Structure 1
Amino acid sequence: MRSPLARSLAAIAAAALALPALAACGADDTDAKGGGDSLVIYSGRSEKLVKPILDELEKAVGTKVEVRYGESAELAAQMLEEGGKTKADVFFSQDAGALGALSKEGLLAKLPQTVLDEVDPAYRGHAGDWVGVSGRSRVIAYNPDKTAEAPDSVRDVVKPEWKGKVGYAPTNASFQTFVTGMRVLDGDDATRAWLKGLKENGKPYDNNLRVLDGVEAGEVSLGLVNHYYWYERAAEKGAENLKSKLHFLPGGDPGALLNVAGAGIVKDSGQDAAARRAVGFLLSEKAQTYFADHTKEYPLIKGVSPSEGVPPLDTLQAPEIDLGRLDTLQETLAMLQDAGLV
């Protein structure tokens, strides 16, 4: 069975080949969109994570909502393949890169300025066709029993002193997006060299939760994860009962990338009004509070604070990067394969 990474790579490659032909047909098809009474959301966020708030969205929008769940990269590739015949009205992505890929191909509609103005320009598409809904910061989790402190740059984890001491999840979408961000910030050559160093120094895990388990158990000294995994576990077990601590990297380091989950409306959707209400609801105080309290992510609108204990958003020293440029996932996946990480 192929890994999710291999499936995503194949799907994106196939979509890239199929797009010119698909773009030439279907745009005038009256059945191109759902066209029925349901608002169709393609969700790259897991059902377990977002179903409660999407149930509330259905009530708020006043329209029957049909949600199709999957990996963000695979859903974006599917939409590229479907072209003008996609049934999706709204794409709710786990990361900005997949939204950027759809924006680049002109599949998303421009959002109302009132919606865009709800969040900082850094957390929305430069073409005005997608908007961030919640944020997550890349961090280093570390075990104080193994190391007194974590390095101040993710670039340093490939140094000899960290050999065999770094946990990471190479098939995880957030790790892949972080690598894409490093490519944008440091260039492909430097990123390729860093990946080879990580393969030498690192211990791969299946996902971020397993990385955090490894840090907690002392299997590794450091783990490259998103911030909310630690805070979710702290809420469950009590921060005082965790062995690991978090280090938010300073100085705009690539390891401090702040990525967003976001939403966009499919161009020429048959449910334009309902789709706009849906995106607006995701930026409502109710939804933003849900992401802060239940998923421990960063709310992106003013007036809603992150969960207790999570550092304020304006204290983070994330790198300045156009999140829409995180759309070159295919190249990142190929680089990960070439480096032998997957």
Structure 2
Amino acid sequence: MPRSPRVRRPALLLASTLALSATVSGCGFLGIGGDEPGDIQVYSARHYDLEDAFVEFEEETGLKVDFIFGDDAELLERLKSEGDESPADMFVTVDAGNLWNAEEQGVLQPVDSQVLKDSIPAEYRDPGNEWFGLALRARTIAYNPDNVDPADFDTEDTYAGLTDPKWKGRLCMRDSTEAYTQSLVASLIDLHGRERTKEIVQGWLDNDVDIMSNDIELLEAVDAGTCDVAIVNHYYYARELDEKPDLNVKLFWASQDGAGTHVNISGAGITESSDAPKKAQRLLEWLASDGQKAFVGGNHEYPVNPDVAPDDVIAGFGDFTPMPVDAKAYGSLNPEATELLAEVGYE
């Protein structure tokens, strides 16, 4: 696990955005406790089954939590268009860049909470206290142990090391439309500059990288030997291990002699329009403290709260040094990252 924070887990996949939009259009909400509007309205781009976590909160506090689900961009635009009339009290999103962008767009409000300051390390929360990281996900190397000797990886800069011709025809990676890819490239721009990062992405393409639409496909390809090496989020690997204990895939923690393994966060903030900011703050504080393990359920993410232990599966992955998270860089450099990917033809 990372040497500063630890982990938790999530649950199942929630209903699709379109189905939920049909259910909750207008002022109706999908609520855990029933069809009537709840005490706390959450717009969530985190598409995991959060019922167990929030039911536990409801039972402890007597407050009811309702949800609208969608992707990050859709929900942020909805918050902006609704303005002061928005029913949302909390915005939950994935990717540090999205959290920074929500702050930049003025849809969040600052929260003065000692509980949040004590529970969440400073590097995983906004300096202005408008957003707070709640879960960590590492984007690192998955490899087939039958075909790869981990000693072959560049331990100083593993991501750049995949441009070495020895990996030609052996790589598979996620597509350019995915926030995970964009934030990884943004972090490389922040670390190396644009020209060097362009060389790295071009090097992946020169090695005939096989680009796939999701991390599960990547892991299945590595397991089958279709490709030998992939860049994946650690929790997809953990979830696959749950279902396939004999999965022929191993993890390698990237860049441990350099900048560290790329990590990202999912987190939340209280909306500027909230009619119940104190209730929403109570939920946010619970998610950062007593509710950390419940929040992640079975998704095997690392908790930001250093007092919360990771689940047994990812504890078995061992400690690693994470790359520092720079939400401003991930957010502000996202347009440059997507432009760079398009420029070199990475689809």
**Normalised by the shorter chain, which TM-score bucket?**
0.7 to 0.9
Structure 2 residue 281 is matched with structure 1 residue 281: no
**1:140-178 CA distances to partner (integer Å, 9 max, x unpaired)?**
000011211252211111221111211111233222221
CA distance in 2, matches of 1:173, 1:227: 15
Q: Is the 8 A contact 1:97 1:323 kept in 2?
A: yes
Equivalent position to 2:310, from 306, 323, 330: 306
CA distance in 1, matches of 2:316, 2:131: 24
Residue 315 of structure 1 aligns to a residue whose secondary structure is coil
CA distance in 2, matches of 1:53, 1:261: 15
Q: Which has the higher helix share?
A: 1
Displacement of 1:315:
3.4
**1:283-324 CA distances to partner (integer Å, 9 max, x unpaired)?**
133x32235551111112133211114249993212224234
Structure 2 residue 178 is matched with structure 1 residue 172: yes
- Structure 1 match to 2:224: 217
- Structure 1 match to 2:194: 188
Summarize the alignment of residues 240-279 of structure 1 with structure 2, pairs less than 5 Å apart: 241-251=246-256, 253=258, 256-279=261-284
Matched to 2:344, the amino acid is: A
Structure 2 residue 61 is matched with structure 1 residue 56: no
Summarize the alignment of residues 105-184 of structure 1 with structure 2, pairs less than 5 Å apart: 105-114=105-114, 115-149=116-150, 151=153, 152=155, 153-170=158-175, 171-184=177-190
Q: RMSD between aligned alpha carbons? A: 2.4
Matched to 1:120, the amino acid is: P
% same residue: 28
Structure 2 residue 234 is matched with structure 1 residue 227: yes
Matched to 2:211, the amino acid is: P
- Structure 2 match to 1:339: 344
Residue 308 of structure 2 aligns to a residue whose secondary structure is coil
Matched to 2:322, the amino acid is: A
Structure 2 residue 210 is matched with structure 1 residue 203: yes
Deviates more, 1:292-301 or 1:121-130: 292-301
Distance change (3 Å), C-alpha of 1:50 and 1:253: farther
Deviates more, 1:310-319 or 1:182-191: 310-319
Displacement of 1:54:
3.2
Relative to the length of structure 2, the TM-score reads 0.79
Residue 42 of structure 1 aligns to a residue whose secondary structure is strand
- Structure 1 match to 2:29: none
Displacement of 1:82:
4.0
Summarize the alignment of residues 314-329 of structure 1 with structure 2, pairs less than 5 Å apart: 315-328=319-332, 329=334
Structure 2 residue 298 is matched with structure 1 residue 297: no
